[in-house]
Amino acid sequence: MITVRPAQDRGNANFGWLDSRHTFSFGSYYDPNHMGFSSLRVINEDKVKPGQGFGTHSHRDMEIISYVLEGELAHKDSIGNGSVIRPGDVQRMSAGTGIAHSEFNAFNIDLVHFLQIWILPKQGGIEPSYEQKHFDVAERQGQLRLVASPDGRNNSVTIHQDTDLYVATLNNGDRVNYSANSNRSLWIQIAKGGIEVNGRVLNGGDGAAIAEETEISLSATTDNTEILLFDLA
């Protein structure tokens, strides 16, 4: 069963400096029918204007992943990390017992366009930690590349939840297949472009919950399509 979450149905918060689209309930956007999916709690598509960003704020007991599509995102946190996140980078921050951080557009001219993803951890109260890795286009071109996992296998970042996250960059006509265990659920998020998922058409910003289907076929319908696939307990 495939349940599509159309891009146009997402919540929206526009503060001038920030245009944010919420796949699930977040902030002032509340929809009891879209509170998350399995351990996946937040997928926000954010566009931040030059020189603007999120001032220092705190989180706890959440696995937070930032995935930049365009531009550069500057990060600083209370456990001593400072970095710039660029396209191809995956940043994982485990908030645990508590962490404060800020995120700003590192460009003076262009928008930064990124996905912020929150995953509920398997257990609370862990020590806060941070990890960032880069995955070249060649690693994900025409194929699914594991970028986050509970055991850090295949040089992915380590998240404290039974969740695997894959990304792929596809051109028109590219096809990738994925086999899932019958007791797992999948979420597909279209970051850019368009695909067909077992015959269902999805375009940029769309998401889809997949349950009770173990063989998944993903076919790109445009060049420069970029997708994220979550394999969830």
Cα 97 to chain centroid distance, Å, stands at 22
| 23 domain residue, yes or no | yes
Per-residue pLDDT tens digits of the chain, which is 233 residues long: 899 999 999 999 999 999 999 999 999 999 999 999 999 999 999 999 999 999 999 999 999 999 999 999 999 989 998 999 999 999 999 999 999 999 999 887 889 999 999 999 999 999 999 999 999 999 999 999 999 999 999 999 999 999 999 999 999 999 999 999 889 999 999 999 999 999 999 999 999 999 988 899 999 999 999 999 999 99
pTM (2 d.p.): 0.96
By DSSP bridging, strand 157-158 and strand 145-149 are parallel
Alpha-carbon span 107 to 214, nearest angstrom: 42
- Among residues 95, 119, 134, which one ends one of the domains? 134
- Among residues 82, 102, 134, which one ends one of the domains? 134
Q: Which residue has the tokens 């929206």?
A: 12
| pLDDT value at residue 109 | 81
Claim to verify: residue 126 and residue 155 sit in the same structural domain: no
Claim to verify: residue 95 and residue 185 sit in the same structural domain: no
Claim to verify: residue 17 and residue 38 sit in the same structural domain: yes
Claim to verify: residue 25 and residue 121 sit in the same structural domain: yes
Claim to verify: residue 150 and residue 164 sit in the same structural domain: yes
Claim to verify: residue 221 and residue 153 sit in the same structural domain: yes
| pLDDT value at residue 24 | 98
Cα 129 to chain centroid distance, Å, stands at 18
| pLDDT value at residue 168 | 98
Claim to verify: residue 43 and residue 90 sit in the same structural domain: yes
| pLDDT value at residue 212 | 86
| 109 domain residue, yes or no | yes
Claim to verify: residue 204 and residue 187 sit in the same structural domain: yes
| 101 domain residue, yes or no | yes
- Among residues 107, 134, 161, which one ends one of the domains? 134
Claim to verify: residue 196 and residue 171 sit in the same structural domain: yes
Claim to verify: residue 79 and residue 130 sit in the same structural domain: yes
Using DSSP's 3-state secondary structure scheme, residue 125 falls into coil
Strand order in the sheet with 185-192: 2-5, 207-210, 185-192, 225-232, 163-170, 145-149, 157-158
Claim to verify: residue 171 and residue 226 sit in the same structural domain: yes
| pLDDT value at residue 190 | 98
Q: How is residue 36 annotated by DSSP?
A: -
Range of the domain at 183: 137-232
Number of domains composing the chain: 2
| pLDDT value at residue 182 | 87
Rounded-to-10 torsion of CA 230, 78, 80, 107: 70
| 5 domain residue, yes or no | no
| 16 domain residue, yes or no | yes
| CA-closest candidate to residue 200, choices 180, 218, 226 | 218
